[in-house]
Amino acid sequence: MGIPVRQVVSIGSYILRQHLAGRKRYPLVLMLEPLFRCNLACAGCGKIDYPDAILNKRLSVEDCLAAVDECGAPVVVLAGGEPLLHKGLPQIVAGAIARRKFVVVCTNALLLEKKIDQYRPSPYFTWSIHLDGDEEMHDRSVCQEGVYNRAVAALRLARAKGFRVTINCTFFKGADPERVAAFFDSVMGLGIDGITVSPGYAYERAPDQQHFLNRKVTKELFRDIFRRGRGGKRWAFNQSALFLDFLAGNQTYHCTPWGNPTRTVFGWQRPCYLLGEGYAATYRELMEETDWDAYGTGHYEKCADCMVHSGYEASAVLDTVQRPWKAAWTALRGVGTERPMAPEIPLGEQRPAQFVFSRNVAERLAEAGESKTRPQKH
């Protein structure tokens, strides 16, 4: 398993405390996006094509730490955009660690060598380096040659300096299971601490929609991958065994979008990291005024094919805490790849998609113009 025991115990006791306090909804992972600007332009990304007035916006260090305090999730994932472009990132990371949060910085690693000495290794800190497969797969995914080799060099450097390092991979339609399995073998050989996987899912603004996976194809792809690695046991995943089992079609989970609340330069995003259907000014407003039951597979057309970790890892973690024997058995036995798949959630009652994104962007642009946000220099 790629999750440190300290983290498992800490998150498990946090969940138990929430249950004992009778809380119905509570956060597990804060997704914190202090900027949308990136130094790559990947085809599967729905963020980097915002107008400059939005790409130039930053959450301040104070805004970020206020979001950490407001939300209270035990894990803080810093994403974006490319978080290493944010000048205040070292202070944000240090501030969150001082609050005993498990901090993960998701990065394409292009700036890691230059900036790594601004950070210190800690059991509470992880670099999560973006690698969508081997050299050819990754460079194609990020639409630029040479990125894989730079990311791997940065990964080796971070390991040599004593940091905890994982990789995060998103797989799209057409991924070759044999090649993915060989890639997992090779990255494990680099001494990484874990792998995070997710199927590509359509951000409604992502320009390249045709390569996202639907649920049936996702489950078959992950079965084909895990089958080549003893039900996934050959690799250290940084995710719960039950989430991997879900990816392979063995669990019927409803998504838990409130488990991974997302704070961006626009505010607290409704309902999740993938869909921007409006923004709340405060975390409390997000939790209390979002109609959570209106989202998720079977409830909403845009959610029909989603199986991403930011929606379903929390569902798997809650199941793990409620049925630890089931999770332990899955971890011991490995992910099932041959048995009949669990029933799928019927889609007959889902409400139709609403397209509110352009209106949201127009509103934010108007705000950006009014506030005369000044861009940072990198």
Binding-site size, ligand SF4 (CB under 6 A) = 14
Q: What is the DSSP letter of 280?
A: E
- Residue from 88, 311, 334, 336 touching ligand SF4 (CB under 6 A): that is 311
Contact call for residue 271 and ligand SF4 (CB under 6 A): yes
Shortest Å distance, C-beta 299 to ligand SF4: 8
CB 141, CB 113: distance < 8 Å: no
Distance CA 369, CA 375 (A): 12
- Residue from 147, 272, 314, 317 touching ligand SF4 (CB under 6 A): that is 272
Among 130, 137, 148, residue whose Cα is nearest residue 176: 137
- Residue from 129, 155, 274, 335 touching ligand SF4 (CB under 6 A): that is 274
Residue with tokens 């569902």: 315
**In this chain, which stretch among 17-25, 49-57, 271-279, 352-360 interacts with ligand SF4, using CB under 6 A?**
271-279
Contact call for residue 257 and ligand SF4 (CB under 6 A): yes
Distance CA 49, CA 38 (A): 10
Q: What is the DSSP letter of 302?
A: G
What tokens does 175 get?
């991924």
Q: Which is nearer to ligand SF4, 34 or 296 (CB)?
A: 296
- Residue from 42, 71, 306, 316 touching ligand SF4 (CB under 6 A): that is 306
Shortest Å distance, C-beta 247 to ligand SF4: 13
Strands 194-199 and 75-78: unpaired
Q: What is the DSSP letter of 300?
A: B
Shortest Å distance, C-beta 248 to ligand SF4: 18
Shortest Å distance, C-beta 310 to ligand SF4: 6
**In this chain, which stretch among 78-86, 245-253, 293-301, 345-353 interacts with ligand SF4, using CB under 6 A?**
293-301
Q: Which is nearer to ligand SF4, 297 or 337 (CB)?
A: 297
Contact call for residue 261 and ligand SF4 (CB under 6 A): no
| 80 prior amide bond cis, ω within 30 | no
Q: What is the DSSP letter of 262?
A: E
Q: Which is nearer to ligand SF4, 340 or 352 (CB)?
A: 352
**In this chain, which stretch among 7-15, 62-70, 303-311, 336-344 interacts with ligand SF4, using CB under 6 A?**
303-311
Distance CA 301, CA 16 (A): 33
356: amino acid identity, one letter: V
Q: Which is nearer to ligand SF4, 8 or 217 (CB)?
A: 217
**3-class secondary structure, 120:** coil
With the CA atoms of 295, 300, 301 and 306 taken in that order, what torsion angle do they form, in degrees rounded to the nearest 10? 30
CB 326, CB 242: distance < 8 Å: yes
DSSP H or E run through 198:
strand 194-199
Shortest Å distance, C-beta 295 to ligand SF4: 4
Q: Please state the separation of Cα 254 from the chain's center in Å.
A: 17
Other beta carbons less than 10 A from residue 105's beta carbon: 23
Shortest Å distance, C-beta 298 to ligand SF4: 9
Contact call for residue 278 and ligand SF4 (CB under 6 A): no
Q: Which is nearer to ligand SF4, 238 or 269 (CB)?
A: 269
Contact call for residue 318 and ligand SF4 (CB under 6 A): no
CB 180, CB 133: distance < 8 Å: yes
Q: Which is nearer to ligand SF4, 66 or 294 (CB)?
A: 294
How many CA atoms are closer than 13 Å to the CA of 22, on its beta-carbon side?
0
Q: Which is nearer to ligand SF4, 158 or 242 (CB)?
A: 242
The site for ligand SF4 (CB under 6 A) is made up of 255, 257, 271-272, 274-275, 295-297, 303, 306, 308, 310-311
